Structure 1
Amino acid sequence: MRFLIIDDSTADSRVLQAMLSQACRYEFEVVHVLSGTEGLARLQNQDFDCVFLDYRLEDSQKWEYLEKIRASGNDVPIIAISGDGNEQIAVEGLKLGAQDYLVKDALTAETVHRALSNAIEKVELSREVARRQQELHDFAHMAAHDLQAPLRRIAQLSEFLKEDLAGKLDETCEMNVDLIGTNARRLQSLVQSLIEFARYGSIENRWQPVSLEQIRDSALFNLDFQIRESEATIQSEPLPDVLGDETTLTLLFQNLMSNAIKFRGDRTPVINISAKRAGEHQWLVSFSDNGIGIKQEYLDKIFIPFQRLHAQREYEGSGIGLATCRKIVEQHRGQIKVESEPGIGSTFHFTISAPPS
């Protein structure tokens, strides 16, 4: 294994290396550099199994180089070290991406071994999660090409069959032909929902100031058929600009409005959209409807993927729309919740960041 020690004290580095010799039961190589600049250069050109990074470097301010390492995209395990047993320094280091923290005056073979094992295990777990997420993403693309095309073809063929045999089928056969098309379209919808749920992973790099009024109008355009068919009324107060990803926020608005239209009961749906400040840096956006409402015991379950509160024959759907909403809101570092009263309606609230002023 290869370790990088970034510490402007040669004496402190020697103590740490001595503890490593006692802590490690395997061969290892240590590279010691005296500055954060040199350490960053080494990490750009060489691979290391763990980095020991000093808090007080002559060429840096506090955890400056910890931030720079993480900003470069390097996920190498990092153990922050300091001469001060200061809890605040430790917390800052861990928040900025270090896996563990050691105090120089309290170094022992045992503490070094524990920190090293912990740091490496955490990063290995994180990498495994990232690998599995990539596999899920790859599966989503496979599903799009390998599953949707034949399902679309089945739906089309059922329509052709229905047209060609019009007037020649008895009631049972005609119903079965309809069921072929209906179930093919349901499967198409489910596959598309799975793709959308898997797709929206890390979106922070696409954040920019966006107009929620434009987001709303895009969602209304996409839902034009549903809105006209249900004769829904959409009422909206002026909406602010926020910091986020336009594509996923449009899907969020679309899912919330579609959900309100679907669960309307016997009434013509009325949906109200509003927004108000939730502190200095956030907005609270609300969607209210006059639908069938949700019982209190189910309020925590509706955001779980594939959680259905009604039979398929009552309300069609994959049970993944609100789970996608929660994922999108959480990817924007917000929270989503619902207030509801059966027979009266529901109000969905979510928070989202305001653009920097």
Structure 2
Amino acid sequence: MDETVLRILSIEDNPADARILQKNLSPIDRFSNFAIVEAACLQDALHALSHAAFDAILLDLGLPDSQGLETVRQIYERAPKIPILVMTGLDDEDLAMEALRQGAQDYLVKGEIRRPWLVRAIHYAIERQQIVEQLQKLNAELARSNRELEQFAYIASHDLQQPLMSIGAFAQLIAMKLDRHLDPKIERYLAQIGQAVTRMQQLIRDLLAYSRIGIGDRPTDLTDCNRCFQEALANLRSTIAESGAVVTTDDLPSVRADPAQWVQLFTNLIGNAIKYRRPEELPRIHVSVRQQWHEWCFCVRDNGIGIESEYFDRIFQIFQRLHSEREYPGTGIGLAICQKIVESYGGRIWVESTVGEGSSFFFTVPRNQ
């Protein structure tokens, strides 16, 4: 703290205890420059709070016109942004602990108060209150950011999709109108318009999914990962059939996670393993899991084309692609979505790979306590 005078409201009805506080807070150095305002009852304290600003409050729980937690409640309601340090007798510690739960920052035991402890406790309480206010501000900014993301999601799903649908529809109308008189070059152009519209719609859907991750309440129910795995296979049914992929799994645990996000996680990772397969070999993908310390570590292993180590970090960045759209279609958001899902649950995701042999994507999630 600097040399600024800290204004302290001392709410104490015992004159002897009030004098001890005054003595302990008398100025000695630049770290203990206090201005004390005394109040001997709750009403005097509330009056003082209405007419002056304070940096901290020293509160005795036993006042002539208020006792115990009711005192804390009324002071906290009047001045929620001023740190409260409760003064308690030796036999009132349980009450003091409850006062902390009601909004007090700290408590001090009368008879054991020493100047260094008191000065330090006041400074710490003020600093903690400043941290609390910063966290509240950050939470408010986060809530505002989430509202903006929700607004973006609305725009993406309506205002951006509608023009694309119109472009696609008009391209189809032109093709129908010209019918057999359609020039092959024009037909190719219209087909390219349709393909571009389809890619843009998928890109918007992926951006929408990416923006929504982490918005809303954290899940409290357990999710069966075996069921999520089966739903992911159902999503990939045609891709698996076309490629002849063999996808197997260990018995998977239940985790505290959003089931839709976990289905998407498995779908993206298994879908990528099938997409980046070696042409001369049937794709084989296995999902395994192991328990380590306080978390589950999942692994999606394949026998595909592999990834060079210099790209291990880059592939998780949004819109980052190692191959052209013609070689491997996609939007370049899939692994970024996987990373955002995993990290939203306090986990991490990484890859280990050998070119020409395959890749193993690992991700962790905290175990359920």
TM-score, length-normalised on structure 1?
Answer: 0.73
From 211, 219, 225, the equivalent of 2:232 is 219
CA RMSD of aligned residues (A): 4.1
Figure out how many residues of one structure are paired with residues of the other and give that number. 320
Change (3 A) 1:332 1:172: same
- Corresponding residue of 1:288: 301
Q: Deviations over 1:322-341 (max 9, x none)?
A: 11111111222222111111
- Corresponding residue of 1:195: 208
Q: Give yes or no for contact 1:6–1:53 (8 Å, CA) kept in 2.
A: no
Structure index of larger Rg: 2
Change (3 A) 1:331 1:106: same
**DSSP 3-state at the match of 2:218:** helix
Q: Give yes or no for contact 1:20–1:112 (8 Å, CA) kept in 2.
A: no
Which whole-Å CA distance do the structure 2 matches of 1:250 and 1:55 have between them? 54
- Corresponding residue of 2:161: 148
**DSSP 3-state at the match of 1:288:** strand
Percent identity among equivalent residues?
32
- Corresponding residue of 1:95: none
Provide structure 1 residue ranges, at least 5 long, that are not aligned to the other structure. Answer: 70-77, 85-101
- Corresponding residue of 1:93: none
- Corresponding residue of 2:93: 58
**DSSP 3-state at the match of 2:210:** helix
**DSSP 3-state at the match of 1:206:** coil
Q: Give yes or no for contact 2:222–2:257 (8 Å, CA) kept in 1.
A: yes
Opposite residue 93 of structure 2, the aligned amino acid is E
Within a 5 Å distance, the mapping from 1:133-282 to structure 2 comes to 133-162=146-175, 165-202=178-215, 205-266=218-279, 267-279=281-293, 281-282=294-295
Moved more, 45-54 or 207-216: 45-54
- Corresponding residue of 1:48: 80
Shift of 1:167: 4.1
Highest RCO, 1 vs 2 (Cα 8 Å, sep ≥ 6)? 1
Which whole-Å CA distance do the structure 2 matches of 1:290 and 1:39 have between them? 65
Which whole-Å CA distance do the structure 1 matches of 2:364 and 2:10 have between them? 41
Change (3 A) 1:215 1:114: closer
- Corresponding residue of 1:28: 53
Shift of 1:121: 4.0
Which whole-Å CA distance do the structure 2 matches of 1:296 and 1:7 have between them? 65
Shift of 1:212: 0.9
Opposite residue 81 of structure 2, the aligned amino acid is D
Opposite residue 58 of structure 1, the aligned amino acid is E
Which whole-Å CA distance do the structure 2 matches of 1:296 and 1:265 have between them? 18
Q: Deviations over 1:251-292 (max 9, x none)?
A: 11111112222222424432111122223x432211111222
Change (3 A) 1:41 1:234: farther
Opposite residue 284 of structure 1, the aligned amino acid is C
Q: Give yes or no for contact 2:167–2:197 (8 Å, CA) kept in 1.
A: yes
Q: Give yes or no for contact 2:277–2:304 (8 Å, CA) kept in 1.
A: yes
